[in-house]
Amino acid sequence: MTGRKRKNTKYVMGLDVGTTKVCAIIGQQDDDGSLSVLGVGSTPSLGLKKGIVIDIDQTVESIQKAVQKASNIAGVEMHDLVVGIAGGHIQCHNSRASVEIVNPSRGVTRSDIVRVNSRAKALAMPVDREILHSIPQEYVTDSGSVKNPKGQVTTKLEVNVHIVTAAVTSVQNLMRCVKQAGYNTNGILLESIASSEAILHEEEKELGVLLIDLGGGTTDIAIFSRGHIRYSGVIPLGGDNITNDIAYILKISLFDAENVKKKYGCAMASLARPEEIFTVTKVVNDKKETVKRQELADIIDARLEEIFHLVRERINATSVHDKFYAGVVITGGSALIEGIAELGEKVFECPCRVGIPHGLKGMTSVVSSPIYATGIGLMRHGFTDALNQPPNGNGLYDWIQKNLLRLLSFFK
């Protein structure tokens, strides 16, 4: 390992701290703007439950192992990480705000955009919660909806913003783990948004798509339409619940249940042939027993259908509903289960596919799996870093936002 960065080369590491695994991915931006994956490190996650840190020491150890593995493969020593966050504490809602343009003839300026964005996120926030993201969905001028209002002649500027909040303690505990592991947090990103950056196509985001990220402890969901995120949420069930069901019904260990799920799992019993069987070992008496694959499929089908129906119920309970999406993309570790796309089409009654990372160079044979969608998305976000910025934003925007919002507030 070189242990040092090559000159004029930008590197980014994405860190996916999940319930079942911690994954670190190092990428490099090539001269033509394309991204190459240089190193991947993955290790079991022992200190989290449903996306929330329950053991700091174990989480720190898992982070160190994953990052070191990725660094050894890449030959690059990294200290700044883009970190993903998920869990049942995540909440979202949409906000709307407007500002008057004092001199309409000069056109909308960057300060006007900053001012309307800051007003949209100026919420009465409980002391135990903080805003993770404030993402502009669309701007509205006198002429109607526009993607980039800069320079537009208008008397009033409005913005619709998607706001994601998190429990302060959950964020701080995750950041503490990263710090104690010896690294700096260069950015924090909701994992469903990270996954979307890795697997969704711009045409899907424009037409409308529902993203379902099946993690170990939770299932993250997000709806995109007209090119922007419209809804995000978390279901407190995931792949671990499927494993637990298999272990309980078949009377086998969790370790064996996880292996059975990966090797023989099927999301629909109709897709498994009657003659397909496999052998398991009972926990209590070590007795071997033959199981039909269709029986295993029934177990998996029941839990996945429950998760998918919970997703539909969650969406239907909000102002965002099925008219906003024309298809479903499923990703995450459990998306590898055979027949999951077919089950998705049955439940959601629309086209469905399994999402894998795309548009990469380097270790593509390794990361071309839904397992790495979040890690790749975090890495990609580290290069784009466009979240929370107005159209054509640049690094100066962050400085303006942090240092002038109080001053601008006097003009509200």
Amino acid 140: pLDDT: 93
Sign of CA dihedral 236, 238, 240, 241: positive
What confidence tens digit (pLDDT) does each residue in 321-343 have? 656 678 999 999 999 999 999 99
For the chain, where do the domains classified as CATH 3.30.420.40 start and end?
Answer: 202-357
What confidence tens digit (pLDDT) does each residue in 122-131 have? 877 888 999 9
Amino acid 255: pLDDT: 94
Amino acid 405: pLDDT: 43
Q: Taking residues 391-408, report their average pLDDT.
A: 41
Q: What is the 3-state secondary structure (H, E, C) of 111-131?
A: HHHHHHHHHHCCCCCCCCEEE
For the chain, where do the domains classified as CATH 3.30.1490.110 start and end?
Answer: 91-165+388-409
Domain range 91-165+388-409, CATH architecture: 2-Layer Sandwich (3.30)
pLDDT band, residue 388 (cuts 50/70/90): very low
What confidence tens digit (pLDDT) does each residue in 150-171 have? 999 999 999 999 999 999 999 9
The lowest-confidence range among 29-43, 81-95, 175-189, 313-327 is 313-327
CATH superfamily of 202-357: ATPase, nucleotide binding domain (3.30.420.40)
